[in-house]
Amino acid sequence: MAVSKSDEGRQAEPMLRRLASDVGLKILFCLAALVCFATISLFAAQLRALAPAGEPGSLVANDFSAFWAAGKLGWSDPLGVLDVERLSAVQRWPADGFIPYFPFAYPPAWLMAMLPLGALPYAIAWPLFSATGVVVYAAALWWTLDGLPSERGALMMAALSPPLLFFVLIEGQTTLLWLTLLTVAVAALASGRAILSGAICGLLAFKPQLCPLVAVAFIAYAVGQPRARTAVPAAAVSVAMVCLLPVIHTGWSYWPVWAEAAVKMGAEIAHAPNAWDSMVSWYPALRAVGMGHVMALVAQGSVSLALAAGIALLWWRPGVDQALRSAALLLAIPLAAPTAWYYEGVAFALATVLLVAARYDRTVWRRLHLILLWALPGYIVPLGATLPLPLLTAPLATLLFAGVLREASARRAPA
């Protein structure tokens, strides 16, 4: 997601000065500090409350508990990680009659990545995993924003301070690692390193539900930019390796069992109203307002096809601002996934940061739009059950996606 200054950007007042003049930079710094302080404080409090390793209550009820338990069980029983009962036996929840539901529903490549963490105590593995996500995400952003040296610090703070980041770190989710790989892959593609870009892009397959629009973008870019055509076969080889190499440990039977578990989980989510409050795409929003499963799925499919067409057009056209391309892709990825959970909203926050870098925020209304989409997903977790925030995030992101397409077309018009 490399960003470079356009002629318009050079003539505009530097973003860092604009932020400083309206205390925006100070607010971002305070928010980043608050996210950091709150995350470390909650980590410390929950780690102190853990029972000794091996006893009930030795894990926190979060998403990482499933990753860690799968890593621990996966050494001896790879197929067992897909069975909720066998996985729960490793998680050792407190014997209070309540069993949290944190299944492992990932392809074998992610299981292999979790094996080293499963060999560590949970109290070490959880903060280590979250801290690694922040470090690599920040490093990727620092590298890809090197075309804006005078503004890189402000953009970094904006990317690392959305309220949602706190919940992603506490849950121990994979979002930051996935976005890091996507950011580096897109930056490598834009800089002409097509084979490297494709190889990194293939690693995204550990979250296959988010990959369709990435494939559309890369294929469209390769069609419009002949020098980038090697990215597509490189990505195909990388995906094949990600899918095939782990079966040396898991066995071929992992794939059909995983597919069955994924379909079953998708069906359960589709009919679980309490889950819709924690998602950001159109399907759960439409279900929440009373639309039936089939009609909501048809509507979601229509939206996904429209998003794919917009991404194909934007990435195929030569001369489009790379920040606009990247922002559109980040907006579209969660919107196109029927069951995109709240933590995928970090992609929305990163998209707003790239749009600020691309000088999209030229009017008050555009700035308000960016601020809302940057901030709102972070309140889905604490307020989702009482306020219909998911009903706002999908329309806001879709409207911004349309605005980005229009902006890209307008900037090309004079040429």
Q: pTM of the entire structure? A: 0.91
Contact between residue 355 and residue 404 where contact means Cβ atoms under 8 Å apart: yes
- The SS3 of residue 279 is strand
Q: How do residues 243-298 score in pLDDT, each as one tens digit?
A: 999 999 999 999 999 999 888 888 888 888 878 888 899 998 898 888 999 999 99
The predicted structure's pLDDT at residue 20: 47
With vertex at residue 146, the alpha carbon angle to CA 319 and CA 210, rounded to the nearest 5 degrees, is 65
pLDDT of residue 12: 44
CA dihedral 141, 190, 211, 74 (to 10 degrees): -60
Task: Give the mean pLDDT of 117-138.
Answer: 95
Mean model confidence pLDDT for the chain = 87
Q: What is the pLDDT of residue 13?
A: 47
User: Three-class SS of residue 280?
Assistant: coil
